[in-house]
Structure 1
Amino acid sequence: MLTFVGLGLYDERSVTLAGRDAIRDADRVFAEFYTSRLVGTDLDSLESFHDTDIEVRDRAGIEQDPEPVLEAAESADVAFLTAGDTMVSTTHTDLRLRAEKRGIETRIVHGTTAQTAAGSLTGLQNYRFGKATTLPFEKAHGGDGVPDSVVATIEDNRTRDLHTLVYLDIKVDDPHWSDSDDTYMTADRAASLLSAAFPDLLAVVVARAGSPDPLVVADTLENLADRTFGGPLHLLVIPGDRHMIEEEALQAIATDD
């Protein structure tokens, strides 16, 4: 049995009770933290909270060499942990399909996602979000500024009056980068990049979703570029036309007018 467990958004306590039970009952526990991280905790705290050893795999260890995970799941109960919801990344879908082809039973225990949290924290209606996009660090995509695909996604959503969730890049397990204070793209950096294409556009920063002190700030991209928003993780939402209730929610919830 291979059980995929989403750990939620922030720390070791963000996991659901069902997820905690699955980890407790597993014979072996694997995890990856290159697609996202729980910034409110660390590996030692996770292991202590769940009273188990966690074998962390890097990108190559999941995408190119998943054999240790699959072999373990053929003869034992294995839990595979990720931040957020475990099936948001295609990497995890690929691992599940590999398991199914080998006759390994799979199960999913969901966790809270950044997308649902962004809608909840901002008051923007979940069913009015269009296609999401990721804004990479410039060197990560080999060019300057914002990739055309990101601009096209925002423009296409706006023509249909839909909101755009912009995930911000994380430099984790990437051969182009070493760990540094610059591991996480900040919302002000993202706003600065996007303001070249959309200078007067309203955007909403969501910082530290799932933590005890989330922050929501609405302003133009140009103004957001000159602000700081504290520790990671950060998201940007580019709203389309707002329903009256959405407008009232932003005015009440966001810290700026």
Structure 2
Amino acid sequence: MAEDSDKPKQASLVLIGMGPNMLTSMTEEAIVAAKSADFRYYEAYTAMWPIEELERLESRVGPIKKVMRPEVEQPEEILNLAKENTVAVLVVGDPLQATTHVDLQLQAEENGIDCRIIHGISITNIVTGAIGLSNYKFGRQTTLTYPYSNWIATSPLEILAMNRIMGHHTLALLDLDPTGAGTGKQQPMRPKDAVISIGLMIEKLSSGIEDINDNDSLSKLKKQAINELVATKFADWNVVLCSDMGAEDQSIIYTNLADLADFPGGNMNCLVFPASTSDVEEKALLRWSREEG
């Protein structure tokens, strides 16, 4: 054992999954890897931990530098250090949940840097089982974004519409950055913000249905799905608000969009839009029914 400890550490990049919300959600392997790194970075623009939990982690593993979108998407500093040191990039949830981190892994490999992955618990692992919906019936997930200036994304509702027409549930993560720049002024979207964004998306989507290309079968299905979605009264859509999942004070609320804005949510929130449900799924959802915030 003494001989092993005398060996120089191999330079590498280690992408570490932090899990959700708190130190106890990290595996022992993840904590040991973070502690043994020469440099530690905390990626804080795709998701965040509470400040007090991050401080607890620092007390265990050592100083951690917070980085945002520019430092991760243009990772010269990280990669240059990893050529001669062990560099840990800590990511909330699982480190390969976002394509941003997959790209970082690929860039490391292209630069001849050994890249190790330590997986973590992600929101997609937790939510489906926690609320009682079948994991097999979830379709493509999406992110509800803030409206940036005059730009309003409609792709989240297009994904919801396609999932809905095929009988698939939809997991919608909520945006963290009202500016869209990913440079530091994070403000996790609240339920009332999500309702406002959805309303703006529906308004824009409704006005552009006729412009949707329907030259092939997939496009025709998409147009039909969007038509059916916007024809419904969106205030009546059933939705599950999941807040701070994985934490001791996690919250699950089954409601509709009309009442969603009345609930404050937590530090980190996401929504699940159920499609058609089985008897077991419906019974499971009813456990979380709430009338008002």
Normalised-by-shorter TM-score class: 0.7 to 0.9
The alpha carbon displacement at 1:81 in A equals 0.6
Task: Establish whether residue 148 from structure 1 lines up as the match of residue 154 from structure 2.
Answer: yes
Task: Establish whether residue 207 from structure 1 lines up as the match of residue 215 from structure 2.
Answer: no
Name the aligned partner's letter for residue 208 of structure 1. D
Aligned residue in 1 for 2:82: 73
Equivalent pair of 1:29/1:55 in contact (CA under 8 Å): yes
Taking the aligned partners of 2:269 and 2:104, their CA distance within structure 1 comes to 28
Aligned length: 248
1:75 is paired with a residue whose SS is coil
Q: Which of 59, 62, 65 lines up with 2:72 in the alignment?
A: 62
From the superposition, tell whether residues 179 and 29 of structure 1 become closer, same or farther in structure 2 (CA, over 3 Å).
closer
Aligned residue in 2 for 1:164: 170
Aligned residue in 1 for 2:281: 246
From the superposition, tell whether residues 178 and 7 of structure 1 become closer, same or farther in structure 2 (CA, over 3 Å).
closer
Name the aligned partner's letter for residue 28 of structure 1. F
Equivalent pair of 1:39/1:233 in contact (CA under 8 Å): no
Taking the aligned partners of 1:40 and 1:176, their CA distance within structure 2 comes to 18
Taking the aligned partners of 1:45 and 1:109, their CA distance within structure 2 comes to 20
Equivalent pair of 1:205/1:234 in contact (CA under 8 Å): yes
Unaligned 5+ segments in structure 1 are: none
Taking the aligned partners of 1:192 and 1:243, their CA distance within structure 2 comes to 30
1:138 is paired with a residue whose SS is coil
Larger helix proportion, structure 1 or 2? 2
Task: Establish whether residue 190 from structure 1 lines up as the match of residue 199 from structure 2.
Answer: no
RMSD: 2.3
Percent of residue pairs bearing the same amino acid type: 31
Name the aligned partner's letter for residue 63 of structure 1. E
The alpha carbon displacement at 1:96 in A equals 0.7
Equivalent pair of 1:116/1:126 in contact (CA under 8 Å): no
- Residue range with higher mean Cα deviation, 185-194 or 24-33: 185-194
Unaligned 5+ segments in structure 2 are: 1-11, 203-229
1:79 is paired with a residue whose SS is strand
Equivalent pair of 2:16/2:30 in contact (CA under 8 Å): yes
The alpha carbon displacement at 1:20 in A equals 0.9
Name the aligned partner's letter for residue 248 of structure 1. K
Taking the aligned partners of 1:37 and 1:79, their CA distance within structure 2 comes to 17
Taking the aligned partners of 1:121 and 1:256, their CA distance within structure 2 comes to 17
From the superposition, tell whether residues 176 and 59 of structure 1 become closer, same or farther in structure 2 (CA, over 3 Å).
closer
Equivalent pair of 1:12/1:49 in contact (CA under 8 Å): no
From the superposition, tell whether residues 178 and 33 of structure 1 become closer, same or farther in structure 2 (CA, over 3 Å).
closer
TM-score normalised over the length of structure 2: 0.78
Q: Which of 43, 53, 64 lines up with 2:63 in the alignment?
A: 53
Equivalent pair of 1:164/1:237 in contact (CA under 8 Å): yes
Taking the aligned partners of 1:70 and 1:16, their CA distance within structure 2 comes to 25
TM-score normalised over the length of structure 1: 0.88
Equivalent pair of 2:192/2:260 in contact (CA under 8 Å): yes
Taking the aligned partners of 1:81 and 1:201, their CA distance within structure 2 comes to 36
Taking the aligned partners of 1:15 and 1:42, their CA distance within structure 2 comes to 11
